[in-house]
Structure 1
Amino acid sequence: MASTQLETLPYRHVLTLPTEPSAVRLARQTAEHALVEWGIGVRHPAVGPALLILAELVTNSVRHAAVLSPTMTVIYAAGPDCLAFAVHDRHPYQPALYGTDLGTGAGGLATVRELVLALGGTAVVRADADGGGKSIWITLPL
C-alpha cells in the first residue's frame, strides 16, 4: 500500500508516549481501544499478530532510541480491508527489516518480519526528512 493510500484511510489515531517501558502496554491498550471503536474485533485473525508486532516495535524504540528520543509517536490507521500502524522515534538508526543480515540481537525484528510476511502485509522503514529519526510502517490486510 502506497503512502498516499495510507493518508486516505478513514480511521486514524496518533499517540505520543515517553520512550520508557510503560509505553509498550499503553500502545497495545490504545490499539485495542481504537480497533474496537473502528469496528475491528479483537478476535479478528490479524489483530493478535498486529498487537505483537506493535509491541516489538515499541520495545525496540524503548531499548535503542530512548537516549536520543525522549518520546515516540505511534500512528494507528485502518480502512475496510487494511490495518496500518507506525512507530516513530528520533533516533537516526534505520534497522533492516528484510534480508539475511538483521544484525545481532534482531530477534524482535525477525519476528516482525515473519509475522508481516505470513499475513501478506508490508513493513517499511521511512527516514525523517532531516535524517534525524525514522518511522517503521506496518500494513496488514484485514
Structure 2
Amino acid sequence: MSTQLEALPHRHVLTLPNTPSAVRLARETAEDALLEWGIGLRHPTVDPALLILGELVTNTVRHAALLSPHVTVIYAAGHDCLAFAVHDRHPYQPPLYGAVTGAGAGGIGTVMELVLGMGGSAVVRADADGGGKSIWITLPL
C-alpha cells in the first residue's frame, strides 16, 4: 500500500457548507470519483470506505459546525490504495487509536474498527495554526 499520498495519481477536493446535506454530497462525490478512476462500486473496499467517510463527515457536522462553517473532503487513489481526508476548523483532535478500546467511543470507534480490520491506517493532522485538523484514512485496494 502506498504511503506517500503525494504520489497518488488520482485526486479530488470538495468543500461544502458544514450542514447535514454534506454527508450525502460527500458520499455521492466519492462514488462519482471512484467510478471515474476505474474503481468499481462493488470493489470490497468501497462500502466500508463510504461508511467511514460518512461517519467522519457526520462527526464534523455534529461537533465542529459552530467553529467550522465548511467541511473539506480530499479524495485520492492509486493502484493499490484509496485515501481520503475530512478537514474542519475545529481544534479538537480525537484520539483515533484509543477509540477502539475506549468505552462509549461511538462513531470514531466504528471508524477505527473498520480501518484496522481492513489493514488500513488513520492519522489526525493538525493545521499549521492549530485551529483545525484533517483526519486521513488510507485503505488498501
Fold conserved between structures, TM > 0.5: yes
Matched, 1:126 2:119: no
> 1:102, CA displacement in angstroms?
7.2
- Where structure 2 has 5 or more consecutive residues not aligned to the other structure, the ranges are none
CA distance in 2, matches of 1:42, 1:55: 16
CA distance in 2, matches of 1:83, 1:103: 27
Cα RMSD, aligned residues only: 1.5
Give, as a single letter, the amino acid of the residue that structure 2 aligns with 1:128. D
CA distance in 2, matches of 1:117, 1:101: 9
User: Relative to structure 1, is the Cα distance of residues 100 and 56 closer, same or farther in structure 2, using a 3 angstrom cutoff?
Assistant: closer
Secondary structure of 1:44's counterpart equals coil
Matched, 1:48 2:50: no
Percent same amino acid at aligned positions?
Answer: 79
Q: How many residues align?
A: 140
CA distance in 2, matches of 1:57, 1:93: 14
Secondary structure of 1:117's counterpart equals helix
CA distance in 2, matches of 1:42, 1:101: 27
TM-score normalised by length of structure 1: 0.94
> 1:106, CA displacement in angstroms?
3.1
Tell me, yes or no, if the aligned pair for 1:24 and 1:55 is still in contact at 8 Å. Answer: yes
Cross-structure match for 1:88: 87
